[in-house]
């Protein structure tokens, strides 16, 4: 199948272009495709729109692309913990499209299933609904949300086999699978690549048909907020 590449730079070769839309997995600092993000920074690709639950933190995750001014717009749910994000947004340097968390996940998942849009009650009567079509079902209002069809998906998993079947750990599973599904091309980085057939089929979280390229990376285990007893 030829899905395994030797580095993040090699895996992204020929896929990056200015102005593209990237779907990035991760939940807080869990399951962030940090090697692929670093390679995008090194490539210098500009004017990016990035769909991700959050924008990393200062100096880590998607925060490194904000620092290098490569991101033009974020499509996100939670943007706390990042002073540079706040500074750029409040100064008008960065566009922001807020999404309720479940809506963002479904916008990615539905696009991965070929569904261009769906109706949801979440956000009805709020600023989220401004400019969106409203339709009634059983006497209640729902707003139309569009699927996110990304040019590229970058995700991080725990294990993969050689055909790209992926297994995620705990909260890394929240956004990585739908982010992987919605890209024209998906590049995954993993902690371990095992031989084909060694993963229990019932425990595979994302079929390899969604994964085009694969690398084994070195990953930093960060804690977003450390709380200890006095």
pLDDT of amino acid 160? 97
| Both tokens assigned to 226 | 């450390």
Give 4's pLDDT tier (boundaries 50, 70, 90). very high
Q: Nearest-CA neighbor of 119 among 99, 133, 105, 101?
A: 133
Mean pLDDT of 170-181: 95
Mean pLDDT of 131-148: 97
Q: What is the pLDDT of residues 94-129, one digit of tens each?
A: 999 999 999 999 999 999 999 999 999 999 999 999
Cβ distance 178 to 26 under 8 Å?
A: no
pLDDT of amino acid 29? 86
pLDDT of amino acid 3? 96
Query: In the predicted model, is pLDDT for residue 1 greater than 60?
Result: no
CA angle, residues 226, 227, 229, in degrees to nearest 5? 140
pLDDT of amino acid 73? 97
Residue 185 CA, distance from chain mean position: 13
- pTM above the 0.85 mark? yes
Query: In the predicted model, is pLDDT for residue 186 greater than 70?
Result: yes
Domain residue ranges of the chain, discontinuous segments joined by + = 8-108+140-216
pLDDT of amino acid 224? 74
The whole-chain average pLDDT of the chain stands at 94
Percent of the chain whose pLDDT exceeds 70 = 100
Write out 49-103 in H/E/C secondary structure: EEECCECCECCECCHHHHHCCCEEEEEECECCCCHHHHHHHHCCCCEEEECCHHH
Parallel, antiparallel or unpaired: strands 117-120 and 134-137: unpaired
Give 185's pLDDT tier (boundaries 50, 70, 90). very high
pLDDT of amino acid 218? 87
pLDDT of amino acid 216? 96
Q: What does CATH list as the number for 8-108+140-216? A: 3.40.1080.10
pLDDT of amino acid 222? 78
pLDDT of amino acid 211? 98
Cβ distance 192 to 226 under 8 Å?
A: no
Query: In the predicted model, is pLDDT for residue 52 greater than 80?
Result: yes
Mean pLDDT of 6-34: 95
Q: What is the pLDDT of residues 54-74, one digit of tens each?
A: 988 888 999 999 999 999 999
């Amino acid at each position: 199948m030829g899905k395994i590449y030797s580095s993040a730079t090699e895996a992204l070769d020929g896929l990056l272009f200015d102005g593209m839309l990237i779907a990035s997995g991760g939940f807080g600092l869990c399951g962030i495709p940090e090697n692929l993000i670093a390679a995008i920074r090194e490539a210098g690709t500009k004017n990016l729109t990035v769909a991700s639950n959050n924008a990393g933190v200062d100096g880590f995750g998607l925060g490194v692309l904000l620092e290098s001014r490569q991101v033009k717009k974020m499509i996100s749910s939670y943007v706390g913990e990042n002073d540079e994000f706040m500074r750029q947004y409040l100064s008008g340097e960065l566009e922001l499209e807020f999404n309720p968390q479940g809506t963002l996940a479904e916008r990615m998942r539905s696009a991965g299933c070929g569904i261009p849009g769906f109706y949801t009650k979440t956000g009805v009567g709020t600023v989220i609904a401004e400019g969106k079509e409203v339709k009634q079902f059983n006497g209640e209002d729902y707003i139309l949300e569009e699927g996110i069809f990304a040019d590229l998906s970058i995700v991080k998993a725990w294990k993969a086999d050689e055909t790209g079947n992926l297994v995620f750990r705990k909260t890394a599973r929240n956004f990585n699978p739908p982010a992987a599904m919605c890209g024209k091309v998906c590049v995954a980085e993993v902690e371990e690549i095992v031989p084909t057939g060694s993963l229990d089929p019932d425990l595979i979280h994302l079929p390899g048909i969604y994964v085009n390229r694969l690398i084994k990376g070195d990953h930093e285990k960060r804690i977003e907020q450390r709380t200890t007893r006095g």
